[in-house]
Amino acid sequence: MIATARTLLVTGGSRGIGAAVSRLAGQRGYRVAVNYVTNRPAAEAVVADIQTAGGDAFAIAGDVGVERDVLAMFQAVDDRFGRLDALVNNAGVVDRMARLDEISADRLERMFRINITGAFLCAREAVKRMSTKHGGRGGAIVNLSSAAARLGSANWYVDYAASKGAIDTMTKGLALEVAAEGIRVNGVRPGIIDTDIHASGGEPGRVAAVRDSLPMKREGTAEEVARGILWLLSDEASYTTGTTLDITGGR
């Protein structure tokens, strides 16, 4: 039973945390735009799950680090849903483990373009549609940060950690810019979550390797992160803005 016709765009909604957010949002009555960059079958599978459960969703290709893709993605949401109520800035990448003195300029450019510029561009397009200053009806944005922003990720990827530090700062600053325009902006800092991201950085065994060092002696699931994100998007969090929630099992 669809309780509301609120619409949500999830960047990187095809796999991992974004897929869990998309599915849970579908269950909660959001109409969901599921963005992906290359893995169309994964995005279509998420859409099919939402539709099978009686929800409304569609998949949309686009690299958040490419401005024309971001513009096309939001235009597609306008065309399909006619409104945007929520954005989850989830798309993000890691890279191989490296010390800072081994990191190339090309690597930095890719990391910061996707993780920082991508989140900024999507937030900009969301604000243009949601802000009461622009004729919108308000909305909510959740940005995916990481515990790495606090911990620094020494010898893993300081560049990734720093990209998430930028997200924490953007969350605070943007929240203050649009607080009186009906938009809440919050962040989530996941800890070690069992998704493909670790393998994509060349470390498929990372979760198992660090498990015993974690406070709860286990990793988190994408669904556990998704529940926090859905709460921040919801009216239950109506007085929560400009903050970033740790979902790290205490790490």
Based on the residue annotation, tell me whether 160 is a catalytic residue of this protein. yes
Nearer to ligand NAP among residue 175 and residue 188 (C-beta): 188
Question: Residue 144 Cβ, how far from ligand NAP at the closest point, in Å?
Answer: 4
| List of residues contacting ligand NAP (CB under 6 A) | 11-12, 14-18, 35-39, 42, 63-65, 90-93, 114, 144, 146, 190, 192-193, 195-197, 200
Distance CA 191, CA 124 (A): 27
Question: Residue 139 Cβ, how far from ligand NAP at the closest point, in Å?
Answer: 20
Question: Residue 135 Cβ, how far from ligand NAP at the closest point, in Å?
Answer: 28
Nearer to ligand NAP among residue 136 and residue 149 (C-beta): 149
10 token code pair: 């999830």
Report whether 130 contacts 136 (CB < 8 A). Answer: yes
Q: Which of 30, 36, 157, 160 is catalytic?
A: 160
Nearer to ligand NAP among residue 196 and residue 236 (C-beta): 196
Question: Residue 15 Cβ, how far from ligand NAP at the closest point, in Å?
Answer: 4
- Which residues touch 118 (CB under 8 Å, ≥6 apart)? 11, 63, 64, 65, 70, 89, 91
How would you list the strands of the sheet with 57-61, edge to edge? Answer: 57-61, 31-36, 7-10, 86-89, 139-144, 183-190, 244-247
- Which residues touch 18 (CB under 8 Å, ≥6 apart)? 10, 11, 12, 34, 35, 88, 90, 91
Nearer to ligand NAP among residue 122 and residue 183 (C-beta): 122
Catalytic machinery residues? 160
